[in-house]
Amino acid sequence: MAKRIDLRSDTVTKPTEEMRRLMAKAEVGDDVYGEDPTVNRLEELAAHMFGKEAALFVTSGTQGNQVAIASFAGRGDEVIAEAESHVFFYEAAGISAIAGAQTRQIPGDRGVLRPADVRQAIRNKDIHQPRTALVCIENTHNRAGGTITPIATLQEIHEIAHAAGAAVHMDGARLFNAVVATGIGEREWASHVDTVQFCLSKGLGAPVGSLVVGSREVIDRARVWRKRLGGGMRQAGVLAAPGLWALTNMVERLADDHANARHLAEQLVAMSGVRVDMETVQTNIVICDVEDTGRTADEFVGALRRDGVLASAFGPTQIRFVTHKDVSRSDIDTAVSVMAKLVASLRR
């Protein structure tokens, strides 16, 4: 069977052989009792890397976001988030269902919130209005194509929020992509937010898990929320072990994913009827629009799949491609060839 080239997401990566070996030999204990030494090492490493007091190992990025949000916002509060952010778009209304807060959506510029818009959206102290408890930043931004919030913008939003008594949470599921793309370290990013959630199971290639980092007080609250959501795990060291390996061995190679994404985008934008906003191609996500071909994204995705290339429909005429460690430059060239033949066939 011919190899499938899976560009649907960076969540589809397989653990490395070293990760599997470490899982098999991981030292474990009961994490709910705080006795899993491998989980403890992972949490200590994450807190140290980000310059925060504490960290919490969680099952997924969504769980990490939701326990962090619920640690700041409660029933009747409001959470500011970008209009197409993951916490609003892909987390099953968790902010309202779990924290009991409502979301105030603000359209960003390629996914990046404007500080002036955040300032305007923060509620006045008025009995008719909810309390603005939290501002959420997504960095990098999935639906905008992997775009990065500039560090100066993040700092300004942080200052605005804190002046109004609100906290800032960063959904940094792919934050290490921003770290590698900008050369700005994770500590600098984390210094301008109260909490960060980041995934081990995307570009870093671990099979499962995310972490939330923040102050000890906030992480203690998040741990309670994790328990409420059924996320208290027992011998979780078998999951934490590949995460430790990922954090210490898989960050710098993200530059390869970025180079492959740029190469893919440059080839796609040269095809007749295919549009790519090259300003958004900053990390490992490429979104192209095929509207001018007269076909839908679903039609394209189906045709690509039949030729062994997997991608995601990201709207009526938009297709998302995501590069990752299990896709080589040769694979990208093959995918480009399949896409080019498909586009050429539509002109005949």
What digits encode the pLDDT tens for the residues 202-224? Answer: 999 999 999 999 999 999 999 99
- % of the chain residues with pLDDT over 90: 98
φ, ψ for residue 248, nearest 5 deg:
-100, -10
φ, ψ for residue 264, nearest 5 deg:
-60, -45
Identify the pLDDT of residue 348: 54
**pLDDT (tens digit per residue) in 21-67:** 999 999 999 999 999 999 999 999 999 999 999 999 999 999 999 99
Q: Which of 155, 173, 188 minimizes the C-alpha distance to 283?
A: 173
pTM for this structure? 0.97
Cα(199)–Cα(15) distance, integer angstroms: 14
**pLDDT (tens digit per residue) in 252-281:** 999 999 999 999 999 999 999 999 999 999
Cα(118)–Cα(115) distance, integer angstroms: 5
Q: Which of 132, 129, 131 minimizes the C-alpha distance to 118?
A: 132
Identify the pLDDT of residue 3: 82
Q: How many Å is the maximal CA-CA distance in the chain? A: 66
**pLDDT (tens digit per residue) in 76-109:** 999 999 999 999 999 999 999 999 999 999 999 9
Domain 253-347 maps to which CATH number in 3.90.1150.10, 3.20.20.140, 3.40.47.10, 3.40.50.800? Answer: 3.90.1150.10
Identify the pLDDT of residue 346: 81
**pLDDT (tens digit per residue) in 152-186:** 999 999 999 999 999 999 999 999 999 999 999 99
The answer to whether the beta carbons of residues 290 and 317 sit under 8 Å apart is: yes
Question: In terms of residues, how long is the chain?
Answer: 348
Phi-psi region of 294 (alpha: psi -120 to 50; beta: other; left: phi over 0): left
pLDDT, average across residues 243-253: 97
**pLDDT (tens digit per residue) in 106-154:** 999 999 999 999 999 999 999 999 999 999 999 999 999 999 999 999 9
Question: Residue ranges of the domains in the chain?
Answer: 17-249, 253-347
**pLDDT (tens digit per residue) in 288-308:** 999 999 999 999 999 999 999
Identify the pLDDT of residue 275: 98
Which residues have CB under 8 Å from 5's CB, separation 6+? Answer: 308, 309, 310, 327, 331, 334, 335
CATH number corresponding to 17-249:
3.40.640.10
Cα(11)–Cα(171) distance, integer angstroms: 16
Q: Per-residue pLDDT for 1 more than 70?
A: no
